[in-house]
Amino acid sequence: MRMVEIIRKKRSGAELSSEEIRFVVEGVVSGAIPDYQTSAWLMAVCFAGMSDRETAELTLAMADSGDRVDLSAIRGVKVDKHSTGGVGDKTTLILGPMVAACGVPVAKMSGRGLGHTGGTIDKLEAIPGFRTELDRERFFAQVNEIGVSVIGQSGNIAPADKKLYALRDVTGTVESIPLIASSVMSKKIAAGADAILLDVKFGSGAFMKTPEDARALARAMVAIGREVGRRTVAAITDMDQPLGRAVGNALEVREAIGVLRGEGPDDLRELCLELGGHMLVLGGQAEDAAGARRRLEAALASGAALEKFAALVKAQGGDPAVAERPESLLPQAKLRLPVAAAADGYVHGIDAESVGLAAMRLGAGRAAKDDAIDYAVGVELVRKRGERVRAGDTLAYLHAQEDGATAGEAARLLAAAYRIGGEAPEKRPLIYEIIS
Ligand code: URA
Q: What's the pLDDT tens digit per position in 221-246? A: 999 999 999 999 999 999 889 999 99
pLDDT tens column, 370-396 = 888 999 999 999 999 999 999 999 999
Cα dist. 153→222, 251, 362 in Å? 23, 23, 26
Cα(177) to ligand 1 centroid in Å equals 10
| pTM of the full structure | 0.93
Q: Which of 174, 189, 198, 221 to mutate to test ligand 1, by most ligand atoms within 8 A of the CB atom?
A: 174
- Rg for the chain (alpha carbons), in Å? 22
Q: Name the residue at shortest CA distance from atom 1 of ligand 1.
A: 184
Whether 171 and 36 have beta carbons less than 8 Å apart is answered as no
Mean residue pLDDT of the chain comes to: 95
Closest to 300 in 3D by CA, of 102, 158, 135: 102
Cα(149) to ligand 1 centroid in Å equals 24
Backbone CA torsion sign across 321, 322, 324, 330: positive
The answer on pLDDT for 206 being more than 90 is: no
Q: What's the confidence (pLDDT) of residue 13?
A: 97
Q: Name the residue at shortest CA distance from atom 7 of ligand 1.
A: 180
Q: What's the confidence (pLDDT) of residue 207?
A: 81
Q: What's the confidence (pLDDT) of residue 371?
A: 85
Q: Which strands, in side-by-side order, build the sheet including 394-400?
A: 246-247, 378-381, 394-400, 335-340
List, in sequence order, every residue forming a beta bridge with 335; answer none if it has no partner: 400
Q: Name the residue at shortest CA distance from atom 3 of ligand 1.
A: 184
Closest to 431 in 3D by CA, of 217, 283, 206, 270: 270
Cα(332) to ligand 1 centroid in Å equals 32
Which amino acids bring their CB within 6 angstroms of ligand 1? 165, 179-180, 183-184, 207
pLDDT tens column, 95-109 = 999 999 999 999 999
Atom from ligand 1 closest to the CA of residue 179: 6
CA 390 to CA 301: how far, in whole Å? 36
Closest to 153 in 3D by CA, of 126, 115, 181, 192: 192
